[in-house]
Chain A
Amino acid sequence: MNDSWIQQIFNPKVSDSHLQAKLAESRLSLPVPVFWLLGKTQSGKTSIIQALTHASRATVGEGFRPCTRRADVFDFPNAETAFVRFLDTKGLGETAYDPQEDLALYQTQAHLLMVVIKAMDHELDAVQSALQTIRAAHPEWPLLIVQTCLHEGYPGKSMDHLQTYPLSNQQLDLQLPPDLVRSLRRQRERFQSYRARFVAVDFTQHGDGYHPQHYGLDALWTEIELALPLGLKQLLRQNQTQTDQLNQVYNEHAYPHIVAYAISAGVLALTPVPAVSVPLVIAAQGKLFHSIASIFGLALTSRSLYEVASAVGIAGISIGFGVRELAKLIPGWGSLIAGLSTAAITYAMGMTLCYYYAKTQQGDAFTPEMLKAVYDEQLQCGRELLKERFK
Chain B
Amino acid sequence: MLKTALWPWLLITVLGALPFLALMAIGGWWLWQQQLLLLWLSISASCGGIAWIVAKLLNRYQKKPVFQRRIAPQTPFSQRDQAAWQAVNALAEQLAQDKTIDMAQIDNWLPIGRQVLAVVAKHYYPKAENPELKIPVTELLRIIEHVSHDMHQQLLSNLPGSHVITLADGLNLQRWLGRLNTVKTALRLGRMLLNPLSGFLNEAGSYAHDKVVDLTLPRLQSWLLQSYVEKVGEYAILLYSGRMATATAQIEALTSQSDQDYQQAQAEQQRLAQEPLRILVAGQTNAGKSTLINILFDRPMAATDVLSCTAELIPYQLKREGLLSGLIFDTPGYGEQSGWLDDNQALLDQTDLLLLVCSANQAARQADRRFLQAFTQHFLTQTHRKLPPIITVVTHIDALRPLREWQPPYNIATPTSAKAKSIQAALSAIQTDLDLSAGVLVPVSLGDNDGMGAYNVDALIQAMGQQMDEAQRSRLLRCLTGAQDQEKWPRLWRQLGNSGRWLLKKAGDALP
A and B: partners?
yes
Main secondary structure of the interface of B (DSSP, over half): loop
Residue numbers in A under 8 Å from B338 (CB-CB): 125
Given the known interface contacts A42-B363, A153-B306, A186-B307, the answer about A208 and B335 at a Cβ–Cβ threshold of 8 Å is no
Binds A, one of B192-200, B311-319, B398-406: B398-406
CB distance from B285 to the nearest CB of A (A): 5
Give the complex CA separation of A124 and B336 in angstroms.
9
Partner of B335, one of A42, A123, A157, A210: A123
Partner of A157, one of B285, B361, B365, B406: B406
Interface string of A116-145 (1 = CB under 8 A from B): 000011111110000000000000000000
Q: Is the CB of A122 within 8 A of B366?
A: no
Residue numbers in A under 8 Å from B334 (CB-CB): 123
Q: Is the CB of B366 within 8 A of A157?
A: no
Summed over the interface, the residue pairs from A and B with CB atoms below 8 Å come to a total of 82
Q: Is the CB of A40 within 8 A of B306?
A: no
B333 at the A interface (CB under 8 A)? yes
Interface string of B280-320 (1 = CB under 8 A from A): 00001110000000000000000001111000000000000
Residue numbers in A under 8 Å from B366 (CB-CB): 93-96, 126
Among residues 185 to 225 in chain B, which have CB atoms less than 8 Å away from a CB atom of chain A? none
Q: Is the CB of A204 within 8 A of B403?
A: yes
Q: Is the CB of B403 within 8 A of A209?
A: yes
Given the known interface contacts A93-B366, A120-B306, A157-B450, the answer about A208 and B286 at a Cβ–Cβ threshold of 8 Å is no
Residue numbers in A under 8 Å from B308 (CB-CB): 122
Q: Is the CB of A123 within 8 A of B286?
A: yes
B144 at the A interface (CB under 8 A)? no
Residue numbers in B under 8 Å from A124 (CB-CB): 335
Given the known interface contacts A121-B286, A123-B286, A157-B450, the answer about A94 and B364 at a Cβ–Cβ threshold of 8 Å is yes
Residue numbers in B under 8 Å from A363 (CB-CB): none
Given the known interface contacts A123-B333, A124-B335, the answer about A151 and B284 at a Cβ–Cβ threshold of 8 Å is no
Interface string of A81-120 (1 = CB under 8 A from B): 0000000000011111000000000000000000000001
Given the known interface contacts A40-B363, A93-B366, the answer about A120 and B286 at a Cβ–Cβ threshold of 8 Å is yes
Residue numbers in B under 8 Å from A125 (CB-CB): 335, 338
Residue numbers in A under 8 Å from B405 (CB-CB): 157
Partner of A209, one of B307, B367, B402: B402
B362 at the A interface (CB under 8 A)? yes
Give the complex CA separation of A35 and B285 in angstroms.
29
For A181, the closest partner residue in chain B by CB is: B306
Residue numbers in A under 8 Å from B285 (CB-CB): 122-123
A193 at the B interface (CB under 8 A)? no
> How many chain-B residues does the 8 Å CB contact rule pick out?
31
Partner of B403, one of A93, A155, A179, A210: A210
Q: Is the CB of B284 within 8 A of A123?
A: yes
Residue numbers in A under 8 Å from B286 (CB-CB): 120-123
Give the complex CA separation of A93 and B370 in angstroms.
11
Q: Is the CB of A208 within 8 A of B284?
A: no
Residue numbers in B under 8 Å from A155 (CB-CB): 448
CB distance from A209 to the nearest CB of B (A): 4
Q: Is the CB of A209 within 8 A of B364?
A: no
Q: Is the CB of A122 within 8 A of B307?
A: yes
Among residues 417 to 464 in chain B, which have CB atoms less than 8 Å away from a CB atom of chain A? 433, 448-450
Q: Is the CB of A93 within 8 A of B306?
A: no
Give the complex CA separation of A155 and B448 in angstroms.
9
CB distance from A124 to the nearest CB of B (A): 7
> How many chain-A residues does the 8 Å CB contact rule pick out?
33
Q: Is the CB of A40 within 8 A of B364?
A: yes
CB distance from B259 to the nearest CB of A (A): 59
Residue numbers in B under 8 Å from A153 (CB-CB): 306
CB distance from A237 to the nearest CB of B (A): 27
CB distance from B263 to the nearest CB of A (A): 53
Q: Is the CB of A123 within 8 A of B367?
A: yes
Give the complex CA separation of A40 and B404 in angstroms.
23
Q: Is the CB of B402 within 8 A of A123?
A: no
Q: Is the CB of B364 within 8 A of A157?
A: no
Residue numbers in B under 8 Å from A225 (CB-CB): none
CB distance from B445 to the nearest CB of A (A): 11
Given the known interface contacts A95-B366, A125-B335, A179-B306, the answer about A152 and B406 at a Cβ–Cβ threshold of 8 Å is no
Give the complex CA separation of A228 and B376 in angstroms.
49
Residue numbers in B under 8 Å from A245 (CB-CB): none
Q: Is the CB of A208 within 8 A of B402?
A: yes
A238 at the B interface (CB under 8 A)? no
Give the complex CA separation of A229 and B351 in angstroms.
57
For B406, the closest partner residue in chain A by CB is: A157
Give the complex CA separation of A179 and B291 in angstroms.
15
A158 at the B interface (CB under 8 A)? yes
Residue numbers in A under 8 Å from B336 (CB-CB): 122-123
Residue numbers in A under 8 Å from B364 (CB-CB): 40-42, 92-94, 123, 126
Interface string of A149-193 (1 = CB under 8 A from B): 001110111100000000000000000000110110010000000
Give the complex CA separation of A57 and B276 in angstroms.
53
CB distance from A122 to the nearest CB of B (A): 5
Interface string of A200-218 (1 = CB under 8 A from B): 0000110111100000000
Q: Is the CB of A121 within 8 A of B362?
A: yes
Q: Is the CB of B401 within 8 A of A152?
A: no
Partner of B401, one of A120, A123, A180, A208: A208
Partner of B399, one of A96, A152, A182, A207: A152
Q: Is the CB of B363 within 8 A of A208?
A: no
Given the known interface contacts A157-B405, A157-B450, the answer about A41 and B363 at a Cβ–Cβ threshold of 8 Å is yes
Partner of B402, one of A182, A186, A207: A207
Q: Is the CB of A182 within 8 A of B306?
A: yes
Residues of B that sit less than 8 Å from A by CB:
284-286, 305-308, 333-336, 338, 361-367, 398-399, 401-406, 433, 448-450
Would you give 18 A-B contacts (Cβ < 8 Å), ordered by A?
A93-B364, A94-B364, A94-B366, A122-B333, A123-B284, A123-B335, A123-B362, A123-B364, A125-B338, A126-B366, A151-B403, A157-B449, A157-B450, A179-B305, A183-B306, A205-B401, A209-B402, A209-B403
